[in-house]
Amino acid sequence: MGTRLHHRSEEQCDPENEKADMGGTVTPLTQAHPAQPDAPDGGWGWVVLVATILVLALTLAFPSCMGIFYTDLQIEFSASNSETSWVPSIMTAVLHAGGPLCSVLVEHFGCRATVMMGGVLSGSGMVASSFTHSILELYFTAGVITGLGFCFSFQPAVTILGHYFVRRRAFANAMSSTGTALGLCVLPFLGHYLHTKLGWRGSFLVLGAVLLNCCVCGAVMRPLEKRKKAKEKNNGPKPLAEQGFKKQMWAMWRSLVSSFHRHMAFDLFCSNQRFCVYTLGITWMMLGFVVPLVFLVPYATDNGMEQSQAALLLSILGFINIFVRPPAGLLFGLAWFKGRHVYVFSIALLLNGLSNSICCIAPTFSVLVVYVLMYGLSMSVVGSLMFTVLMDIVEMSRFPSALGLLAIMESITLLIGPPLAGSLVDSTGLYTYVFLACSITVVLSALFLMVSFYILDRRDAARKDASATEVSAVTPEAFTVCKKPATETECITTV
């Protein structure tokens, strides 16, 4: 299973790869020489693993740390909670929704160039954000440009890790997932320090320079093997410039449809009920899963807590993820958990939703520390198993396209979740209703996944029992075994 995913990721990360569905042909020479060598499972791969960890720390954890500047943005632009919460919301949504576009770039330019392109985009977006004069400009610079840069950096970084690790892939993926936790530990402290020294504009300027380090990380993500692209001979198809306008448009349309089909998986909605249920459950979950991370710091500071203590809460959350995610990834990789991943995932999601109600008890530091501990533990298990469950329910050849479709759908709820929570704060004046609403939303999504997969498992088990009963009820037919001795043919009839 892992090997097939490995080959698929290598095809995506090599811009010089000949695609059969794009009109390429497979020659005997191509068959004789493998497209890529086996992954070394070490060596330079450890450098790539460290670079991937740093990229995830700078990208996936960044939107959650925007809460440090939440109050300043409200005051600067005279914006409501709903208007201000659109900034991290757009950033997170674009980070996920840009997946198919990122896949196309990886296909044409490779992982290394795409990661570096993402570093330039995210850094430029944050630098431009420090010069904005309206909240709408901030939506575009910090939300769209920076979010797209994050997408272009983190997805190829995770993909190229499959080039270097096959045997140790579970360990490598578990270690790379600590990058998000590392960012949650460091970025709140860095953001708070910059905020006290430079204000939010100066902080955005410095953070933009920090994000440019994604380019350095991308530079070390060299491909395993450079291959020369085969040149088309005179017998090949004519260049588009020599064809008519209609043929050019038709060729472009076929290329677009082919690329869209490769990177999306709409047909799985009809052919795979488990994928349909899981996609709906994750989309539902994302409506309230990340909202507490956005509103935790504003909730704490609004009730008199010092901003340094509020930033410490996010750092505690990051430390928990650092120490829990790698063992969780290795533990749930054991054979006993095969077929049970979705139930462990649902239970962790249920506990995560229930933990949000702890914030409604009191806005004190001790209560919020208990909340962060429970939220962080359950979040670690959810993060470790989210993609594992998807691998269990779809074929590995369809995993990249299924992941692209899942990212598109969850980006919708990631986009509207924080603004809806901000509107709730504006209308009620209390943050506790936000955490209560998140608790209800996540708990219901967990119950939906648990019950739906239980029904599907019972149905599949009943079908297997029925088919086994039919096979055992079949009357044995008489069959003849013939053997040919040296002198004559002897036939033995057996019932």
pLDDT at res. 22: 39
Please, are residues 480 and 492 in contact by the beta-carbon 8 Å criterion? yes
Cβ density class 103-112: b for 16+ within 10 Å, e for less: bbbbbeebbb
CA angle 157, 160, 165 (to 5 degrees): 120
pLDDT at res. 39: 61
Here the tokens at position 298 are 């504003």
Here the tokens at position 107 are 């296909």
Query: What phi and psi values does residue 491 have, to the nearest 5 degrees?
Result: -110, 130
Does 154 map to a domain? yes
The residues near 52 (Cβ < 8 Å, ≥ 6 apart) are: 157, 158, 160, 161, 176, 179, 217, 221
The domain of 301 spans: 2-19+36-225+255-464
Does 410 map to a domain? yes
Q: Provide the domain count of the chain.
A: 1
Neighbours of 49 (CB within 10 A): 22
pLDDT at res. 29: 36
pLDDT at res. 16: 45
Q: Which residues pair with 490 in a beta bridge?
A: 483
Does 126 map to a domain? yes
Reported as type and span, the H/E element at residue 491 is strand 490-494
DSSP code for 22: G
pLDDT in tens, 331-385: 877 778 888 889 999 999 999 999 999 988 888 899 999 999 999 999 888 887 8
Does 424 map to a domain? yes
Cα(249)–Cα(245) distance, rounded to whole angstroms? 6
Does 489 map to a domain? no
> Cα Rg for the chain, rounded, in angstroms?
26
Does 25 map to a domain? no
Does 40 map to a domain? yes
CATH of the domain at 301: 1.20.1250.20
Reported as type and span, the H/E element at residue 59 is helix 44-59
Name the burial class of residue 487, with classes exposed (0-12), middle (13-18) and buried (19+) by CB atoms within 10 angstroms of its CB: exposed
State the chain's mean pLDDT as an integer.
Answer: 79
Name the burial class of residue 387, with classes exposed (0-12), middle (13-18) and buried (19+) by CB atoms within 10 angstroms of its CB: middle
User: Which of helix, strand or coil describes residue 481?
Assistant: strand
Nearest-10 crossing angle of helices 245-263, 99-109: 110
Does 383 map to a domain? yes
Chunked mean pLDDT (size 10), the chain, 495 residues: 42 46 40 49 84 90 83 88 88 85 80 92 93 92 93 85 72 77 85 89 93 92 61 45 62 66 73 91 92 88 85 86 81 80 92 92 90 92 83 76 81 89 89 93 95 92 81 55 46 37
pLDDT at res. 19: 41
pLDDT at res. 464: 84
pLDDT at res. 225: 65
Query: What phi and psi values does residue 267 have, to the nearest 5 degrees?
Result: -65, -25
Reported as type and span, the H/E element at residue 169 is helix 169-176
